[in-house]
């Protein structure tokens, strides 16, 4: 016999967007049933750096990134186990062309808002003593932060369960979403039926199946990446780390000097082939999460390749001035990226009371809280 669950909202998808939407709704006093097809989320949400990355955001998204970073701080005040820390970041500059880009960026009107400050090597060592390798300077961003992506969401859900008005249903795959004048009805693969005023569907990178059935073709694409994690470094890496290739990747650095950099300083062949940048953040247990690559053309390879890992290891060892600890795990992930310029995310009402929210790109952990706040405002929650 089917069970009927009357609630204010049904949130479908247990990743960062689904969990952030549940947080926004529950903390505003609404009842939520939160459904995830896996027992625990296993997609891009847990396969990333956990970086809350203000420094690289485009001008149109900077205010949202700043707000989201502050929301993470508020979440952490209630759920310390998410591991939020305002550690900042250092983009390490190893050539004169990279330094010129950083000088241009540090002189812009929004440099203070981003927390930018250009540091000489001696100043870099004061901020992050682990960086004892070779570089010309570091672009410091005090507004960047990090959370523990593999454990943050279960702790948020546990807190919501204690607050009440929240039920998490893991291991149930939604098969049907329909709407009528009486609200929204959702059916899962266990035969359970849920009824609510609103359903918010956050499918992540699952662009086919139910997503295509209810929303058609959305302006999103899938992106594959490779990453790795080391054993404990044995000392504190007090900021997140990026290399000069990240200047090419993040829109905040666009400008005349970046154009000159790309024209005169080609990437290393393996970095160009895999559209790479170095990003590195230390986990609370001391290990380093290191990446990443970008692959856009499907079908994606099902195996991971070693050359990108070798390149990342070499770059990071040059910056640290010491060998990395041994690699304890490698993995690949796929995330959803909105291709509409100027949009934080693909957000659509596809039927009365049925919303699809997907495609934050590699910005899910950075922007998840603010995207969900915006949806809650839009729905007048």
For the chain, the structural domain boundaries read: 4-45+151-216+343-378, 89-142+220-338
What confidence score (pLDDT) does residue 6 get? 45
Is the model's pLDDT at 349 over the cut of 60? yes
pTM: 0.95
Question: Average pLDDT in the 114-119 region?
Answer: 96
Residue range 204-232, pLDDT digits in tens: 999 999 999 999 999 999 999 999 999 99
**47 Ramachandran zone, left/alpha/beta (phi>0; psi -120 to 50):** alpha
Question: Average pLDDT in the 57-73 region?
Answer: 96
Residue range 133-183, pLDDT digits in tens: 999 999 999 999 999 999 999 999 999 999 989 999 999 999 999 998 889
Query: pLDDT-based confidence at 7, cuts 50/70/90?
Result: low
100/102 Cα distance (integer angstroms): 5
CA nearest neighbour of 175 among 165, 164, 161, 189? 189
61's enclosing H/E stretch is helix 59-78
What confidence score (pLDDT) does residue 196 get? 94
Alpha helices in 79-182 (DSSP H): 96-106, 111-114, 121-127, 152-163
Kindly report whether the peptide bond that precedes residue 29 is cis, defined as omega within 30 degrees of 0.
no
CA nearest neighbour of 206 among 370, 42, 362? 42
The pLDDT > 90 percentage for the chain reads 93
What confidence score (pLDDT) does residue 219 get? 97
Size (the chain), residues = 381
Question: Average pLDDT in the 101-129 region?
Answer: 97
Q: What is the CATH number of domain 4-45+151-216+343-378?
A: 3.50.50.60
Question: Average pLDDT in the 53-64 region?
Answer: 94
Residue range 264-288, pLDDT digits in tens: 999 999 999 999 999 999 999 999 9
The total of other beta-carbon atoms located within 10 Å of residue 115's CB is 17
Q: What value does the mean pLDDT of the chain take?
A: 95
**50 Ramachandran zone, left/alpha/beta (phi>0; psi -120 to 50):** left
The domain over range 89-142+220-338 is classified in CATH as 3.40.50.1100: no
């Amino acid at each position: 016999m089917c069970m009927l669950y009357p609630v204010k909202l049904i949130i479908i998808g247990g990743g960062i967007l689904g969990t952030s939407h549940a947080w926004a709704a529950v903390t505003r006093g609404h009842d939520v049933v939160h459904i995830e097809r896996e027992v625990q989320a296993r997609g891009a949400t847990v396969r990333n750096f956990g970086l809350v990355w203000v420094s690289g955001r485009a001008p149109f998204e900077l205010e949202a990134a700043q707000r989201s970073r502050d929301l993470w701080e508020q979440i952490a005040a209630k759920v310390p186990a998410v591991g939020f820390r305002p550690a900042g970041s250092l983009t390490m500059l190893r050539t004169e062309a990279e330094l010129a880009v950083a000088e241009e960026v540090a002189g812009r009107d929004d440099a203070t808002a981003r927390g930018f400050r250009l540091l000489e090597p001696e100043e870099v060592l004061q901020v992050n003593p682990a960086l004892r390798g070779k570089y010309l300077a570091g672009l410091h961003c005090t507004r960047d932060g990090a959370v523990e992506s593999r454990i943050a969401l279960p702790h948020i859900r546990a807190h919501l369960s204690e607050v009440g008005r929240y039920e998490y249903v893991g291991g149930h795959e939604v098969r049907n979403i329909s709407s009528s004048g009486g609200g929204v009805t959702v059916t899962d693969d266990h035969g359970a039926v849920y009824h609510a005023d609103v359903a918010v569907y956050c499918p992540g990178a699952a662009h086919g199946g139910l997503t295509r059935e209810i929303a058609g073709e959305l302006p999103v694409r899938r992106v594959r990446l490779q990453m790795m994690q080391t054993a404990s470094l044995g000392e504190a890496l007090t900021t997140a780390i990026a290399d000069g290739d990240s200047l090419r990747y993040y829109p905040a650095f666009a400008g005349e000097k970046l154009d000159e950099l790309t024209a005169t300083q080609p990437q290393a062949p393996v970095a160009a082939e895999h559209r790479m940048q170095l990003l590195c953040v230390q986990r609370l247990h001391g290990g380093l999460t290191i990446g990443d690559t970008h692959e856009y053309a499907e079908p994606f390879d099902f195996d991971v390749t070693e050359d990108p890992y070798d390149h990342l290891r070499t770059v990071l060892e040059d910056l640290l001035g010491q060998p990395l600890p041994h690699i304890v795990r490698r993995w690949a992930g796929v995330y959803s990226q909105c291709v509409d310029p100027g949009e934080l995310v693909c957000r659509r009402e596809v039927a009365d009371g049925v919303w699809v929210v997907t495609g934050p790109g590699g910005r899910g952990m950075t922007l998840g809280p603010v995207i969900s706040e915006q949806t809650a405002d839009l729905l007048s929650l």
